Amino acid sequence: VGFCSFLLINFWFTRLQANKAAIKAMLVNRISDLIFLLGILTIFYNIRTVEYFSTFAAISIVKDFNFIFFNYSLSIIDVACILIFIGAMGKSAQIFLHLWLPDAMEGPTPVSALIHAATMVTAGVYLTARCSPIFEYSIFSLKVITIIGASTAFFASTVGLVQNDFKKIVAYSTCSQLGYMFFACGLSNYPLAIFHLSNHAYFKALLFLCSGAVIHAMGDEQDIRKMGGLRRILPFTYIMFLIGSLSLMGFPFLTGFYSKDLILEVSFASFSETGHFAYWLGTIGAFFTAFYSTRLLFFAFLSETNAYKNIIKHAHDVPLEMGIPLGLLAFGSIFIGYLSKDMFVGLGSNFWNNSIYIDPINNQMIDAEFLPTIFKLLPVILSFCGLFSAFYLYFFKFRFLYNLKTSNYGLYFYNFLNRKWYFDKIYYEFINQYILKIGYNVTYKMVDKGLIEMC
């Protein structure tokens, strides 16, 4: 999977940025793959098999096995689950291993629609759900998954607020939605995570294909500040993008609403510290998601035109053969959530049979039905607040936003978000540089130039 991602991101192999992004994706995924391999070896060493059904059958035997590591007693199951989850984190761009996903937008947009919306980037969620019989024996790892997933949902939604690259805004929304899927897994609601995964594929693929249509119409320009007024020039693309954005926000009765809001309801119904932590971060993330989606719509479609006259003159909407896939995905973004909800996560549904294991005492789906109405409506209310506040600020109070951004504290906050919480800077200055120095001073100077020449 990592190799395919490398090749697809590096499709435009003459671009320096595409080369760098592909290498970055490969390196981050190699780190997670190595740790994932250690998790597989941990299971193999204790069970003597890595075949799914044999492992699931034998896992209850070793659930109480411990080993001593630096005078600490560690559970075999906890260690194996954490190692497997780190592998899934790299594949699904969770916080700390998320660095490759925004840069992966250097690939062609149809590639982004396929692998960075529906398939490859969701491999980690699928892996976690498929290994549910193992994770259900590790309470500690489930708490870690919930915290990481909720933190990712919040982190990506905040960074998306200040991005100006069309595809990177959509990429950070993908990262945020993957966080929702993971904390659903952490709350032992694997069917709900897969339900959101399948729903997300429709509206996110629609958003990516629409973004490709817009970028092509604008002469390969991706800066949203150099667009504007496209609702008149690209009316069909505008309507499709609006449907995808509303579904992403969790607008009532669209596809995203049925899974996203149910995840938040179930997180509150878990009545645990990690569940409530996930609920509040996810709910605030829903506000930010609506805000940056409306901001993107404003700059690209609703504001006055900022593009060059020659570009506007030659801009055109998508032809029929490209409009048909957009229409099909728009249909899925509106209706699939309603049509498939009872099948995927309906009470008493046996759709997953033995593919996904959930502890029999887990009654969160039932408890979610009896939550106070305010906690069910709060994510929807905040989504509407994000939509209307962005609409009001960008249409009527643009000068206020500019003054806020250029004030002392506003500038610090803007830089903090624009530099992605300084993750790239920290990794580069405190990890990459030391590794390169060690490689030069130890491997090259001591080994290559020293020991080998002496021999």
pLDDT tens by residue, the chain, 455 residues: 778 888 888 888 888 888 988 988 888 888 899 999 999 999 998 888 888 888 888 888 888 888 888 888 888 999 999 999 999 998 888 998 888 888 888 888 888 888 777 778 888 999 999 998 899 888 999 999 999 999 999 999 999 999 998 989 999 999 999 999 999 999 988 989 999 999 999 999 999 999 999 998 888 888 888 888 888 889 999 999 999 999 999 999 899 999 999 999 999 988 889 999 999 999 999 999 999 999 999 998 888 888 888 888 888 888 898 899 999 999 999 999 999 888 888 777 777 777 787 777 777 778 888 888 899 999 999 999 999 999 999 888 888 888 888 888 888 989 999 888 999 888 888 887 788 888 777 777 777 776 666 66
What's the distance, Cα to Cα, between the start and end of the chain in Å? 41
CA quadruple 69, 140, 352, 359: dihedral, nearest 10: 110
Residues 6+ apart with CB under 8 A from 22: 5, 6, 7, 9, 10, 106
Whole-prediction pTM? 0.91
Within 13 A of 367's CA, how many CA atoms are on the CB side?
15
Contact at 8 Å (CB) between 262 and 191? Answer: no
CA distances (Å), 297 to each of 39, 118, 164, in order?
43, 22, 12
Separation CA 69–CA 42 (nearest Å): 14
Quick check: 177 and 195 in contact, CB under 8 A?
Answer: no
> What pLDDT does 453 receive?
66
Q: What is the pLDDT of residue 385?
A: 94
> For residues 171 and 204, what is the distance between their CA atoms, to the nearest angstrom?
9
Supply the pLDDT for residue 454.
Answer: 64
Integer Cα distance of 67 and 234 in angstroms: 62
Cα–chain center distance at 177: 5
C-alpha distances (whole Å) from 15 to each of 3, 163, 170 are 19, 22, 22
pLDDT score recorded for residue 451: 64
**Predicted local distance difference test score (pLDDT) of residue 402:** 84
CA-CA-CA-CA torsion sign (277, 282, 287, 291): positive
CA-nearest of 44, 30, 135 to 84 is 135
Which residue intervals of 346-372 are DSSP H helices?
364-369
Q: State how far the Cα of 57 lies from the Cα of 41, in Å rounded to an integer.
A: 17
Q: Tell me the CA distances in angstroms from 406 to 199, 276, 291, 414, one per residue in order.
A: 39, 35, 20, 9
Distance (Å, rounded) from C-alpha 157 to C-alpha 382? 14
pLDDT score of 395: 86
Helices 190-217, 320-345: crossing angle, 10 deg rounding: 170
What residue ranges do the domains of the chain occupy? 2-418, 423-455
- Looking at residue 228, the DSSP 8-state letter turns out to be -
Residue 455, pLDDT score: 60
For residue 134, what are its two tokens? 């193992």
How many residues would you count in the chain?
Answer: 455
Q: Judge whether 313 and 178 are in contact, CB under 8 Å.
A: no
* pLDDT at residue 279, as a whole number: 94
Distance CA 419, CA 151 (A): 17
Q: Are 225 and 306 in contact (CB under 8 A)?
A: yes
Nearest-5° Cα angle at 154, 148 to 158: 140
Q: Which of 178, 286, 297 is closest to 228 using CA atoms?
A: 297
What's the confidence (pLDDT) of residue 10? 87
> Please, how many CA atoms are within 13 Å of residue 13, restricted to the half-sphere of its CB?
4
The CA distance from 179 to 94, in Å, is: 7
